Amino acid sequence: MRKAFLHERVLLDPIESELLRRGFRASREYAVTINRQIVGFIDLYAVQGVHRVACEAELTPRRAANDVMKGSAVGASLLLIITPTGRIAARIDEDLRRAGYGCELRVCVLPLGRALGLIRDCFPLIPDAFRDPESSRESQP
């Protein structure tokens, strides 16, 4: 009950409505399948054109590595791990850096307010933010 309120209502609802406002199609508890077998669920998966954003709300750093695996498996371009406080975000970030995740998949671990800010500020610029470094080099004169 406690987790449901904080996890679903406080953390995921504002992120979902913000993404929907920016033209994303969002689905909760998106099934992650490998070889037609469901291996897990992503809390919120949003798609807009080529942009695929996987959002995971985490109250503790315990399952962060699992989130990265799910984000990679589903082929997301951005994994947004949303936490209630900055302290938990820092812990998750530190754990992921130590484990060496986040090389191919872009992972952002942010508290709720900053995650909303990221969506508001960066999604209009998302083609630039998500552009492959190689393709951006090609486009330069």
Partner 1 sequence: MHGQPNERNLRGLESLFRLPTVEADLEWQPRASTSARNREPVPNSDVDKTGASRLSEADRRYLAAVVASPGQPSASYARIAQMGTGKATRTRKSLVERGFLREHVVATGRRGRNAIVIEPLAAAHDALGPRSEEA
Enter the tokens of residue 135: 């393709």
**By C-alpha distance, which of 79, 16, 24 is closest to 48?**
24
Residue with Cβ nearer partner 1 (120 or 131):
120
For residue 68, the minimal CB distance to partner 1 (Å) is 22
69-to-3, 14, 41, 65, 73 alpha-carbon distances in Å: 22, 24, 11, 7, 6
- Nearest distance from residue 12's CB to partner 1, in Å? 11
From the CB of 108, what's the least distance to partner 1, in Å? 14
Q: Quick one: residue 12, left, alpha or beta (phi over 0 = left, psi -120 to 50 = alpha)? A: alpha
Nearer CB in complex with partner 1: 17/136: 17
Task: Give the nearer residue to partner 1 in terms of CB position, either 4 or 103.
Answer: 4
Please state, in angstroms and rounded to a whole number, the distance separating the CA atoms of residues 96 and 78.
15
Instruction: Using the minimum distance from each CB to partner 1, give the nearer residue, 8 or 73.
Output: 8
Measure the CA–CA gap between 53 and 93, rounded to whole angstroms: 18
Binding site for partner 1 (CB under 8 A): 2, 5-6, 9-11, 13, 84-86, 111-114, 117
Nearest-approach distance from CB 122 to partner 1, in angstroms: 13
